[in-house]
Structure 1
């Protein structure tokens, strides 16, 4: 039953999982300091006029939020921003405290309220230079509430230039109630308490936010590592996550039915739920990408964006049911929300309804004559619409909206409910290198249904494959991920191939596996699943300093066309203040054949990611550098100021002459 299940099978409630618990109309009460919205199932209390969520009543609990916290630290929207001028304001964390309250809709079917915080030049250097309108919506019969916000930077020279490092919604739940967390089917468990991270109960580890639990309240957690980055999710999988209380059996879930307002596309990784108990909805953030994912706005640059709505869903079990089944119910409710998108109820004219949007469909094929003569269906391809830009620019785009779909086994795709505007169509196909961009812009108008027909992607290719290492899928997951140091284990990820890379400290295992010499991979003999370490990182020396590493790829060529050109394709799944220098058959040559230069700030290695941003390099290798017989490609990563500097490879391929 688990270590927290002192909560008893006899616990029962009169409520249930569905939304049929009450037919009471929605009621609104306003006083000098609070606004209360109630539909007979859920009661939401917001501070007036700040718009901070101070109370959430459901299923006999007078407040699901942490009552020990100050009212302003329970449920809130926040931003992290920096001025792009000489004012010196950098990395400012700001909880959005509104200054004006307004009722938008008040009927028995729906209440929508607005808490707004305007900006003007007198606030320069004090608040983020954006108008913010936070909305909260409660519907009749709904077992939860919705929230969204409209951000705006006006096109006037008085409006300060700034960057938006992060914006999100944060919920702090009651630590005496919510002990079981679920972010995915293979990542759900009873969690340590926030108290377990305090001095005396935890030992800080080398990377910020990670601790080893040395004297936890619940002894069974002793020796575990707790780190919120172990629970991050990619946008494509970040639809529902949250917490379960056993007494009473209640679930708190954050459901995001669309990713259109999240930055960075389907592979962007974000925080979600972690010890606190904390539940987040992150819309903009630099995690696993660095400054490339921080939108920057010039002085007077006009911009407006709607974040959300997201749904905060509450559920409970009936008598005799296992409270952990609330996770399954939350997943079912997520599909209800997805099928209801775009919502019809938001009152803001900045949120377009279904009839105000358009659709795009077509079929993506892949043409690679060195694999087969016929065109190959883009099975599983990610096809999306994002603002116009260069090939692959979608992964760094962070100001506007993106719309993505996954192609079926025939390569057919359908991108639905797209906001009006001009886009490029982008795609990438698992199993093939590179990025696709449709050569024509696509303009979405209300009600349009655009069929682009058959699109053909020709991935980078100049000659036949002489050898390849890995799978071109923008991830290092197929490579060797070592077992964790027994001192730094999170048991959730043991015997879990999908998440084994999430263990703390795996970067240090490289030096233990290769204490004196670096990795050597022999084509035709080595197996990349066992013999290619998942990250090329520095090696710790005996004096605890670090040194750069040089990996070797050994391969034989029977015939070399010395006057021809060969091509080395090097796709990287992530990079953190690192460099790859490529040399062929001479490791000591002063100038490398190729260098990436210093690249990357994704911190994916330290934050237990298996990828960050994607990089693709196409390197010419003169046949004069090669010999008949054994050849060696040297991959040197010389940066060594920190153990977290490194490269994660996605895929390498050497092509012969065309």
Structure 2
């Protein structure tokens, strides 16, 4: 039964009741067994125009309802826009008697439209109420089993009270949570796609499951991993995420002049009831087979769907000379002439290879593909392009002789080329946030592997550029009983207020208290970067006012966001607009001399309208504080604020000193260890891994000095491999060092800066630099990756560089770089001589 109102479409098949908003095509509820499972079902994506814009057709958005005898298809059509210059159709499909909803969506980019990129698109089910309490996700076959014991999620309330230590990563200590791990993060619940077909939530006798009958449209092929579900401070979410740039996956890029069409799905979100979670999962698993819905999907005929009769089987036999058993190897069909893990525009299919080398890949759409074969412990891949697949065929590719990569006689090998870091220390526990905290306990002198002596436990599964957080203790230097100082900490009504500051929440209105906003605005609390900067008020146009005695003041505004770029504009007392621009995780600080002549200071905010703090100091106030503080070659974390006491900074492992620039306000004297800081700065030695630099500021009145501290930490030592040869290399011989990474990426889930990163490999003093582009440095490596050709390199050099004894190879992350933070998850390292 279908019911339409002016605002909604309601479909009731006797088992579920689905409601869709007619204005945007979004699900607003899914009722099953009298319980609403979904607060909203939201298709979201991150897209951006690339290149110049081209003319687009007039907007023609709209919802259509297709009614057939045994199903209803609600389709919403989005018109092309500047950042998404293509037609997008989203489907919610309900079938008679089924406990669930089928989802599908398709893109159609005509060649006449301009280019764009997609970093992520997915369907998100924001669950309703408190029905779901547990997650059902299979463990990684390569890691320590842990998910069943951690199935009960922390509650939304526990997450709301837990500090966020990284994007979507919470420290539960002190919350009373029964979750068995200290940290909860959505990234620990990611899965590899190779054998994945089902994930879900359950609780209170109900289950909701994402059943994926085929993964052909998922980007990245079988080695890709991504997010599937997690708890939030508002309740659990269930994801169907065919594309994202986590874990080094590339974005979808479509250029002007390029016609592109791709259909994602259909997928099936299934709901059931029961008291046994395992039985509920087995029931849901029946919905995740390709043949469970194939006939229905053929009849449904969503645009871009390839009917079963047109799909083909592709078979072959792989052989490696001298290797009788190929069990564990995988055959993949993917975009032609593209690395399989970088397939985003087309479709991918894969199959395990049996002991004898036979494989069969079923249900392949017609097209032209690359065939890739890879296997555990085998260097390189077998690749052939231009594999033609017609409609309804049984294609026999025949015998394929696969010769593993070899560059001569092997001198040593660390690890096995299996696309993971599982064999190294902590490798089986790679899905556990916070392992960096134990690195210095395991490797107090850094990681050194001695060939012939060391085991794989001498090599950590990740090489860190920093095995620590760049953070400083909370603290302020607000003088007591000093007239002429007003300090305001902006943000939410419930977040911490910096010591010595007054709270300005989103609803602190100007009035009796003598300060406040001219209207209620929004606020955000990111839970990181310190009490002063973690939260802020935000609005497109609003004013903060505070009553002050007439006179001259220095007014400082701090504006930034831990997880987003910021473009805020401010003005003082209706004066000239000032831009406060900051990148993600940065904070713009602007100080101005302002005259108050009407008993009140007005600070107006516009643009992004973020304000973290306002600091007001009378020109007549005798305050022994810093006016400015900076260091050469690094940034202070958090950014400088005159009334914050502690800052952090990190430096390269071999940096011996840092030049500190510090100026006291109003001529106050500044010294470090009793030595005055000149206008050109003062060089201060760095001692050991951690140094604390104390800066003392004194006035002329003989009062006690104000003390600031810079907590300086030097980055990790390069990792080393030490080895001897069994004799001098033959004159004219060549050596090849092969380095394979499971992943190379940012050490957090923050946006990747537009800078090249590097791994510098030094062989007996000669450096070889391996450069990575920004798009290849995505995701947090502590969760490992499953890299392909992008993360393998061969360094070939004259073997005379080697010695019979005492050879050293070192690996350093980001030599010569200042602003990056990367981690390398190692797969394997091998040296050969020919």
Aligned partners of 1:178, 1:223: CA distance in 2, in Å? 19
Q: What is the Cα deviation at residue 466 of structure 1?
A: 2.4
The answer to whether the 8 Å contact 1:112/1:138 transfers is yes
Residue 647 of structure 1 is matched in structure 2 by 824
Q: Distance in 2 between matches of 1:190 and 1:352?
A: 39
Residues 204-228 of structure 1, C-alpha deviations (whole Å, 9 max, x = no match): 21x3221212454x64349821211
Matches within 5 A, 1:530-569: 530-539=457-466, 541-542=689-690, 543-563=711-731, 564-569=733-738
Does the 8 Å contact 2:294/2:308 carry over to 1? no
Which moved further from structure 2: 262-271 or 551-560? Answer: 551-560
Query: What SS does the corresponding residue of 2:405 show, helix, strand or coil?
Result: coil
Say which SS state the counterpart of residue 400 (structure 1) adopts.
Answer: coil
- Counterpart of 2:555 in structure 1 is none
Give the secondary structure class of the aligned counterpart of 2:430.
Answer: helix
SS of corresponding position for 1:172: strand
SS at match of 1:359: strand
The residue aligned with 1:80 is: 46
Q: What does 1:204-283 correspond to in 2, within 5 Å?
A: 204-205=164-165, 207-214=166-173, 216=175, 219-221=177-179, 224-246=182-204, 249-275=205-231, 276-283=235-242
Check if 1:617 corresponds to 2:793: yes
What CA distance in whole angstroms lies between the structure 1 residues aligned with 2:781 and 2:60? 36
Q: Which residue does 2:73 correspond to in 1? A: 112
TM-score, normalised to structure 1, is: 0.80
Residues matched between the structures, number: 563
Work out whether 1:165 is the aligned partner of 2:119.
Answer: yes
Distance 1:341 1:509 in 2: 53
Asked if structure 2 preserves the Cα contact closer than 8 Å seen for 1:150 and 1:304, the reply is yes
**Contact kept in structure 2, 1:215 and 1:222, CA below 8 Å:** no
User: What is residue 152 of structure 1 aligned with on the other side?
Assistant: 108
Q: Which runs of 4+ in 1 moved over 6 A?
A: none
Aligned match of 1:470: 415
1:322: how far off?
3.0
Residues 559/339 of structure 1: CA separation in 2 closer, same or farther (3 Å cut):
farther
Q: Deviations over 1:482-533 (max 9, x none)?
A: 8xxxxxxxxxxxxxx4xx2111122343234334x321111221111x1111
Q: 1:427 touches 1:436 (CA, 8 Å); kept in 2?
A: yes
DSSP 3-state at the match of 2:298: coil
Instruction: Kindly report which structure 2 residues correspond to 1:588-627, keeping only aligned pairs within 5 A, or say none.
Output: 589=765, 591-592=766-767, 594-598=768-772, 601-605=776-780, 608-612=783-787, 614-627=790-803
**Residues 574-597 of structure 1 deviation map (CA, whole Å, 9 limit, x = unaligned):** 11264332233x3xx3x41x2213
User: How far apart are 1:349 and its partner, in Å?
Assistant: 4.5
Comparing 255-264 with 40-49, greater Cα deviation is found at 40-49
**CA drift at 1:167:** 0.8
1:456 aligns with 2:383: no
Q: Which moved more, 1:257-266 or 1:539-548?
A: 539-548
Alignment partner, residue 303 of structure 1? 260
Q: Tell me the TM-score normalized by structure 2.
A: 0.64
Q: 1:400 Cα deviation (Å)?
A: 1.3
Quote the offset at 1:49 in angstroms: 4.2
Alignment RMSD (CA, Å): 2.6
What are structure 1's unaligned runs of at least 5 residues?
Answer: 1-26, 67-73, 88-96, 368-373, 483-496
- In 1, the alpha carbon distance for the partners of 2:202 and 2:287 equals 15
Per the TM alignment, residue 298 of structure 1 is displaced from its structure 2 partner at its CA by: 1.6
2:743, 2:784 within 8 Å by CA — same for their partners in 1?
Answer: no
Aligned: 1:315 with 2:272: yes
Number of the residue aligned with 2:25: 51
What is the aligned partner in structure 2 of residue 135 from structure 1?
Answer: 91
C-alpha contact 1:430 1:472 (8 A) present in aligned 2: yes
| 1:252 positional shift | 0.2
Tell me by how many angstroms 1:378 deviates: 3.1
Measure, in 1, the Cα distance between the counterparts of 2:157 and 2:270.
27
**Mapping 1:238-637, distance limit 5 Å:** 238-246=196-204, 249-275=205-231, 276-289=235-248, 293-317=250-274, 321-323=275-277, 325-335=279-289, 340=294, 343-367=297-321, 374=322, 376-390=324-338, 393-438=339-384, 440-481=385-426, 497=428, 500-515=429-444, 517-528=445-456, 530-539=457-466, 541-542=689-690, 543-563=711-731, 564-576=733-745, 578-584=757-763, 586=764, 589=765, 591-592=766-767, 594-598=768-772, 601-605=776-780, 608-612=783-787, 614-637=790-813
Residue 64 (structure 1) aligns with: 37
Q: Distance in 1 between matches of 2:180 and 2:71?
A: 48
Q: Distance in 1 between matches of 2:295 and 2:229?
A: 23
Paired with 2:277 and 2:802, the residues of 1 have a C-alpha distance of 64
Corresponding position: 1:42 with 2:42: no
Comparing both chains, which one has the higher relative contact order based on Cα–Cα distances under 8 Å and sequence gaps of 6 or more? 1
Matched with 1:91 is none
Relative to its length, the structure with more strand (as a share) is 2
Cα deviation, residue 480, structure 1:
0.6
Q: Distance in 2 between matches of 1:626 and 1:342?
A: 65
Please give the alpha-carbon distance, in whole angstroms, between the structure 1 residues aligned to 2:181 and 2:215. 37
Deviation at 1:642, TM superposition (A): 7.1
Alpha-carbon distance change, 378 to 303 in structure 1, aligned in 2, over 3 angstroms: same
1:183 to 137, 143, 146: 137
State the alpha-carbon separation in 2 of the partners of residues 416 and 544 from structure 1. Answer: 57
Bigger radius of gyration: 2
Pick which of 51-60 and 551-560 moved more.
551-560
Name the CA distance, whole Å, in 2 between partners of 1:148 and 1:289.
25
> SS at the partner of 2:122?
strand
Distance 2:158 2:781 in 1: 22
